[in-house]
Structure 1
């Protein structure tokens, strides 16, 4: 019976992840990121931009990060600045961990307040660099994410059902082993988050990476899909399990 419950829970998790993916992109259209080009770089220039309420950013094709030069695309790379207020508003309106796994429309204008559109498209935030002490955003990295473009994305894992989990109610602890899963696939099929339902787990029950179903075009980038994402352990064994790839 427990095995059937876990199978049913896995089916529900798949449906939840798919709904989150499509709805997240619909919601992201309410946030068209506005950017302007920047010609100069350097710490002093970046500091001046931040004082003016802007965040330095870079936008490029993700395959520029490939070790093999033959796989890199040199075009459509931009040095930009974006409005700090807008980025803060987006972070406040979306679940923060999903910001770097959610696609957004972007418009590059010729300058601040300009109506001239230099470039537009769909992008994915790749990294947020913050000051270690203050937590303020120092700069952002975006990659182009048009439909059909294959990306590698760390998708955050969100756990639900802890409040009714039988194992936790018996005194167990949910050991959250994997905070995210990395996928490779077309950008339009990458979910903004993976929702893992733990509401039916008893003590010693686990959910494995192989239990998570996503769009068939996505490839899980893990050496061992039999690794658990989470496990309900007795309180005396509440230490985290090591992540082994």
Structure 2
């Protein structure tokens, strides 16, 4: 079930009205996209602050805005933050209308490292992409893409063509079979870390 934010339409724009909204515990926002005109609105500061701080998938999560009983599904696209406090100052939402498709960054999660023969023999997981840019149905955005490392040997790579994506979901990159991760020998990982000055596995 989608998280619901209360919302109200705002008639005035500019720095003065925005400051007045913030004094009331709200922040200015806008909804755009789809077949309708952009809608300026105000949403509760505390709700946006909470979601930004606790939801790592904030920008790939569909929320609902409640305009006095009328609800609209939206996807956060951009949040303007205060340069010192990191408090949200303004939010851009994209309409997530049924039947529409949306391009989003979806996190990748790697599982069953303990079932990888290559990693048991000292191989190192080299993560090339921690997120995937995907075109998804507005009502079918995956929370994450899981990569199973069971059975992977040193020298194995996982390419996008080997990943089963949910129905209706496709990568934005279609002209090459790009790599998501590989299992490299420990000597390669060490050389890469020395060359880049990184403390963790090469990425």
Q: How does the TM-score come out when normalised to structure 2?
A: 0.78
> Within 5 A, what are the aligned runs for 1:135-174?
135-162=86-113, 165-174=116-125
Does 2:141 correspond to 1:190? yes
Residue in 2 aligned with 1:82?
Answer: 43
1:66-87 per-residue CA deviation (whole Å, 9 max, x = no partner) reads xxxxxxx4x2421112112222
Greater strand content? 2
Deviation at 1:132, TM superposition (A): 4.5
Structure 1 residue 180 displacement after superposition: 1.9
Aligned-residue CA RMSD (Å): 2.6
Distance 1:164 1:132 in 2: 44
Contact (CA 8 Å) 1:155, 1:180: kept in 2 or not? Answer: yes
Call closer, same or farther: CA 1:134–1:211 in 2, change over 3 Å: farther
Q: Relative to total residues, which structure has the larger helix share, 1 or 2?
A: 1
Instruction: Report the TM-score, using the length of structure 1 for normalisation.
Output: 0.67
Alignment of 1:17-166 (within 5 A): 26=1, 28=2, 31-61=3-33, 73=35, 75-91=36-52, 94=55, 96=56, 98-109=57-68, 117=69, 119-162=70-113, 165-166=116-117
Q: Distance in 2 between matches of 1:168 and 1:44?
A: 58
Q: Is the 8 A contact 2:49 2:87 kept in 1?
A: no
Structure 1 segments unaligned to the other structure (5+ residues): 1-25, 63-72, 110-116
Which residue, 156, 163, 179 being the options, matches 1:212? Answer: 163
Structure 2 unaligned runs (5+)? 193-201
